[in-house]
Amino acid sequence: MNRQTVCQQLTNKIKMLTLNEKNGLPVPGIHLLYGTMPRERSPVMYEPGIIFLFSGHKTGYLNGRVFHYDANEYLLLTVPLPFECETRATFEEPLAGMRINIDLLQLQNLVMDIGEDDNFCPQASADGINSVELSEDILCAAERLLDVLEHPLDAKILGKQIIRELLYQVLRGPRGGALLALVTRQTHFSQISRVIRRIETRYTENLTVDQLAADANMSVSAFHHNFKSVTSTSPLQYLKSYRLHKARLLMLHDGMKASAAAIHVGYESASQFSREFKRYFGVTPGEESARIRA
C-alpha cells in the first residue's frame, strides 16, 4: 500500500476518532488534530511534543527560519516555543494529524535501556524546533497507534508501548540529538531547558537576565548566545511572548478581562500590555476578547 493511500486512511480514522472524542482519548498525552479551514499566519505557542500530519500542511516561521510539516515531514518541538504558523486545509484536503506530548520520564527510561550501544550515536543538536523527514518506520508505528485508539482496552495495554517505539524511532532519526538533549545533563541545551521550565512556573515574577543566567550557571553573554541557539530569540523577548500567550489563554479559556489577565501574567501597566499585545497578535486585547465572545 503506497503512502498516499495510508495517509488517506489515517485521515479518515482521525476524523472518526475526533467525532467520538467526547470523553477524551484512552491514552494520555495524545491529541488529535482535524480541521477543514485554513488559518492565516498568526502567533502560536506549542508545548514540547511531536506533531504528525497525514493531510493538510503547516508552515512555521521563527525569526527568519521557515519550516514545513505535512505528510512527508513531522515537527519535533523540544522546548515551549512562541512562533508564527499558517495552516493550509480545505474540506477536500483537511488538516488531519496527531500530537504526542513528550513524557520526560518515559524518554529517560528509554535512553537508559539503550545504554552505551555503539550503533546509537545521534548527532548533537541545540535547536528547540525541527521539521524532520517522516520515515516509513515512524509512519507504520503512528498507524498502529491510531488503530489501537479505536479500542480502549487495546489502547490501555498497547498505547504506551507504541509511543515508546515512536520515541525510539525519532531518537534514531536525523534530529534524534535534539530529543536526546532533553534528558542529557550538563549540555547547553539541558541548561537552557531548565531555565525555560523556570520561566514556565515563575513567569509572573520580575525575572532578570542576570537571574536566569545564574540559573543556567553561565555568564550573561554565554547565556544569551546559548538561549538564542535553542529558541531563536532573546531571553527577554521569549519571556514577553510567553506572558502574552498566557494572558491570551486566560482570556480565551477563563473568560478573564484583559486588565485582569495583564496583572495576572506580571504586567504592572495595562497600557503597556495593550501596546505589546497588539504589536504581537495584530489586534488589541479588547478586540481579541470580543472575537472570543463572538
Architecture of domain 234-294: Orthogonal Bundle (1.10)
Q: Within 13 Å of residue 135, how many CA atoms lie on the same side as its CB?
A: 14
Residue 27: per-residue pLDDT = 87
Q: Under a CB-based contact definition with an 8 Å cutoff, are residues 14 and 142 in contact? A: no
The continuous run of DSSP H or E covering 101 comes out as: strand 95-101
| Average pLDDT, 10 consecutive residues per value, the chain (294 residues) | 91 90 77 93 90 95 89 92 92 95 90 82 79 94 94 92 95 89 78 88 90 91 90 91 92 86 90 92 85 67
The DSSP bridge pattern shows strands 73-77 and 65-69 to be: unpaired
Q: How far apart (Å, rounded) are the C-alpha atoms in residues 53 and 146?
A: 13
Residue 194: per-residue pLDDT = 85
Residue 160: per-residue pLDDT = 93
Residue 177: per-residue pLDDT = 87
In which region does residue 56 sit, left (phi positive, over 0), alpha (psi from -120 to 50) or beta (all else)?
A: left
Q: How far apart (Å, rounded) are the C-alpha atoms in residues 75 and 95?
A: 14
Q: How far apart (Å, rounded) are the C-alpha atoms in residues 46 and 287?
A: 23
Q: State the cell numbers at 34.
A: 482535524
Helix (H, G, I), strand (E, B) or coil at 82: strand
Residue 63: per-residue pLDDT = 83
Lateral strand order in the sheet of 49-55: 30-35, 95-101, 49-55, 73-77, 129-133
Domain ranges of the chain: 3-183, 185-233, 234-294
Q: Under a CB-based contact definition with an 8 Å cutoff, are residues 160 and 27 in contact? A: yes
Which residues does residue 101 pair with via DSSP β-bridges, in sequence order? 49
Cα 84 to the center of its chain, rounded Å: 12
Helix (H, G, I), strand (E, B) or coil at 271: helix
Q: Under a CB-based contact definition with an 8 Å cutoff, are residues 34 and 72 in contact? A: no
Looking at the domain covering 3-183, what would its CATH class be? mainly beta
